[in-house]
Amino acid sequence: MSTDQPVWFEPPDLLGVAELAKNSLIERLGIEVLDVGPDWLSGRMPVDRRTCQPFGVLHGGASVALAETLASLASTFVVDKSRFFCVGLEVNANHLRPAREGYVQAVVRAVQLGKRIHVWDVRINDDRQRPVCISRVTMAVVEGRTG
């Protein structure tokens, strides 16, 4: 669904995202949202003791947490937050290559943005731009507000 037209209901506030991440899994894993385009968000996560499994490679669950975090944030910026909130419905991840150090970077792009369901494609690469994980995240758009 790549487009040059903005998909956002309101422009993503990267400083607000950093504040929202405090005291959450996002902060604990070191996930950062880096940049935003008209139809994508990018972020990164360190490959370190917080995100690796005992054999010293990036834990698949950490990759899934990165993918769902970016897709959740993206969906949140697509809807009118005064009327809707978005929750994860399904995550599929194909782990393609181990990462052992540095950071993994991810880009999320919409596949389909419906009234009640959003589907996102998340591509996670290592520092050498080699694919580590490809994920598809389905979000449910729920009427109402959180909190």
Active site residues: 68
- 51, HSE (Cβ side, Cα atoms, 13 Å): 26
DSSP string, 70-87: HHHHHHHHHS-TTTEEEE
Enclosing H/E stretch for 109: strand 103-113
20 burial (CB, 10 Å; 0-12 / 13-18 / 19+) is middle
Residue type, 70: L
Give the torsion sign (CA, 108, 109, 113, 117).
negative
